[in-house]
Structure 1
Amino acid sequence: MKPLRPRLAHLLRGRLRPVVAAALAGLLIGAGTTAWQTGAFASDSSPCWGALDQSDITGLFHTPGNVKSAELPLISNGLTSSGLSGSCRLSRLTWQVTATAHELSGDHGGASGQWADEFLSARLSPLGGGLLGMASDTRAWLALPEDCAGRSDANRGPAVIDIAMGTANPGRKIDAGDRAALARALVKLVNRAMVTSGCSGTIADRSAHLPAVPQSLDEKPGDFCGVKGLALAAGYTKDPALDHPLVTSGTGPVRTCDLASNYSRPRMRLMTITDPRLAGIYYDTVLNGGTPIKSTAGRGIVRADLAVFRAGCQKGNAVFLVQFDDAEHAADIKALLPRYAAAEAARTGCGPLRITVPR
């Protein structure tokens, strides 16, 4: 049996997302209704909208019992315009796990998009099985099936349930057991949301079919971030801290390369999103988030810390992104994006793609 988790302050903040949950709480309180249903639960009860059982709690907290729960009800197409809302918070002492049901809007991406920073991290691996979702040992998310939640517009993302457990990047290797526990609980929560939404069918547990835990790369010359043929711009002096990047394992809707990640976000990120539903989270950024990149193949923006290009591919929109955590690499971003987008477009069957970034 694993020991109880350490009580480190920087590991303890599972946060309540999104703003709609707080807004919903206000609506319920204003109507004279208790918003949060709180308290300890019995060993034979099912917390988190009736979706989880004691085996799930043991998987998340390593030991059974003494876990408190607090919930906002799971609502589909009800009081909010987002179509799906609800939150569930489980806690023991100082350790907290938070599940949130919400729709990913067109502003969940971008340099200030904390959801993308955390839930599209290279620490997460695709769930596979045709699902739009990913999991690590601290974060996991899964979109409701399109035939249940409805087709997403190009200007927004899908309806999802995500789980946050501790700090997004705790500075240690990924724990495969914790990752599996999050994936199991996540699928149960989404199955409950499907029932609430009046949808038929269930999603099978994917915890035993996850790809290998992501490992840091030993890069080959000319294959930056493991992208074949991607070379750094001439004259670029690579920061030694950017050696050994972490890259998404397996095959799925997102490929992320994170370099020098800290507790909040990576020093540098290269990312490709090939699922049109998920690509919608960068709609607002691409529309008005910086200097426009004009192209017949799509549209994008560039600024001092970020460049994003959304391309119209055979299977729908894809997104190619280059991001730094500061504004000191504008020239590097402008040099990298065209090369990165061209290489990834070729790999994903979206090419040939040639874009020109304004100087």
Structure 2
Amino acid sequence: MPDEQPPEPPGDDRPAPPAPEAVDPPNRAGRLRRLALGRPGAIVAGLLAGALLGGAAVAWRTGELPLREHRVCWESLSQEAVAGFLGGDDIEAHDLPLNSGLRGSERILGTCRITREVDGRTREVIASVRVLDGLHGLDVREWPDAFLSARMVPLGGEVTGMVSPARAWAALPAGCLSRRDQPPAVVDLSWGSERFDDAGGAERRDRLARGVVELLNGVMRDRGCEGRYAAPSGELAPVNVLERVPQAELCDVAGLPVPERFRAEGEEERDLPFHLVTSGGGAGVRVCQVGDDPARPDLVLRTIDDPRLARVYAGGGPHGGDLFVATARCQTGPAVFVARADHDAVAVLEDVFPAYVRAETRRLACDDADGGRDGRARGGVT
């Protein structure tokens, strides 16, 4: 097992993504597992009854068990992966058995929390399994903000998914935990808060990329889904870095003018807000974020041309106000164009969004897009 310690997670006070919603109580008890990493076979196991957090836990020492690897989070994540995230030993993992996903009300199918106490602080990694909602619009804001940000790059290979220095997600195959006419079921990992410098970013992404594929394969094995994915082997795309907003075309989109709000006053480049653009190649997602605070962008523009992922925006739900959505049928299939604005920048949407949709439909060779200026999609995605 590697002796190197992973980089410390960010120490800022920015909140992590919202905790997943509570799942229906399962028929089987969950479990609390304490791993003594570095001492093969030594494990303290226990039970976690009731909800994931706040339930009673009973632990006992089982002594030296036969030498074999113990995995956590539905027998998915290896000790090597866990040590890469949190380092050291005395790591606890809490999980609940996965729900079936067959009932329409189930979105969060399972959650696993891996923790380690370091100098009185809790370091943690959160793993989740969920079916993205395409009926009521329940996943059009918070999940994309965390997992479809411009900080993400494609995982590559045969896996549909993305990774950043703090987040990773991967889609299960069609028909595995979700119907073929639904958005995909996904596994995701959250490890601290996003950082916008390059310190340790590439190494953290590599660890998350390997971990999320382990999680993907473990969940597929647990639910009896066919096939397995190879661990990432090639180099990921370069870490996306912040740049000042170019004054020619917004978000590097041909034909998209820069709004007055994001133009420099005089010739002072330091007055320009930042922008961050993901390449979009390989994951069916292209994202641009603009604003003075990269952690809380004023404006986010997304193009999603992966047909399964586009179904997240197919339903009704809470569109409008700070969220504009348009749909189109392109050469690659259905596509969705999304604009999301911070409250102070909502007025920019009315000017930017129509021009953005026109530019992106030209780039992707799409039919005319459907979508009202209040963001309520017409026509839907099929």
Shorter-chain TM band? 0.7 to 0.9
Query: Counterpart of 2:43?
Result: none
Pairs aligned (count): 329
Per-residue CA deviation, residues 62-112 of structure 1 (Å, 9 max, x unaligned), is: x342211111123434677538722221111111001001101132444xx
Query: Counterpart of 1:322?
Result: 339
> Residues of 2 paired with 1:237 and 1:46: CA distance?
48
Structure 1's 215 and 15: CA in aligned 2 closer, same or farther, altered over 3 A?
same
8 A contact 2:29–2:97 mirrored in 1: no
> What letter corresponds to residue 49 of structure 1 in structure 2?
W
TM-score (norm 2): 0.75
**Residue 56 in structure 1 maps to residue 81 in structure 2:** yes
8 A contact 1:183–1:206 mirrored in 2: yes
**Residue 46 in structure 1 maps to residue 71 in structure 2:** yes
Shift of 1:59: 1.8
8 A contact 1:128–1:206 mirrored in 2: yes
Secondary structure at the counterpart of residue 338 of structure 2: strand
Match of 2:150 among 104, 118, 122: 122
Query: Counterpart of 2:235?
Result: 209
The Cα RMSD (Å) is 3.1
Match of 1:243 among 251, 269, 273: 273
8 A contact 1:121–1:256 mirrored in 2: yes
Shift of 1:309: 0.9
8 A contact 2:274–2:293 mirrored in 1: no
> What letter corresponds to residue 349 of structure 2 in structure 1?
I
Within 5 A, what are the aligned runs for 1:158-307? 158-167=184-193, 169-173=194-198, 175-206=201-232, 208-217=234-243, 219-233=245-259, 236=261, 238=263, 243-249=273-279, 251=281, 252-260=283-291, 262=293, 265-284=296-315, 287=316, 289=318, 302-303=320-321, 305-307=322-324
> Residues of 2 paired with 1:81 and 1:288: CA distance?
15
Query: Counterpart of 1:295?
Result: none
8 A contact 1:68–1:92 mirrored in 2: yes
Per-residue CA deviation, residues 200-229 of structure 1 (Å, 9 max, x unaligned), is: 221111253321111234554432111112
Shift of 1:11: 6.4
Shift of 1:231: 0.6
> Residues of 2 paired with 1:170 and 1:307: CA distance?
27
> Residues of 2 paired with 1:23 and 1:354: CA distance?
35
Shift of 1:128: 2.1
Structure 1's 6 and 357: CA in aligned 2 closer, same or farther, altered over 3 A?
closer
8 A contact 2:102–2:178 mirrored in 1: no
8 A contact 1:212–1:249 mirrored in 2: no
- Higher-Rg member (1/2): 2
> Residues of 1 paired with 2:6 and 2:188: CA distance?
25
8 A contact 1:141–1:162 mirrored in 2: yes
Structure 1's 249 and 41: CA in aligned 2 closer, same or farther, altered over 3 A?
farther
**Residue 95 in structure 1 maps to residue 118 in structure 2:** no
Query: Counterpart of 1:299?
Result: none
More helix by share: 1
Secondary structure at the counterpart of residue 105 of structure 1: coil
**Residue 8 in structure 1 maps to residue 25 in structure 2:** no
TM-score (norm 1): 0.80
Query: Counterpart of 1:66?
Result: 90
Shift of 1:322: 1.8
Secondary structure at the counterpart of residue 50 of structure 1: coil
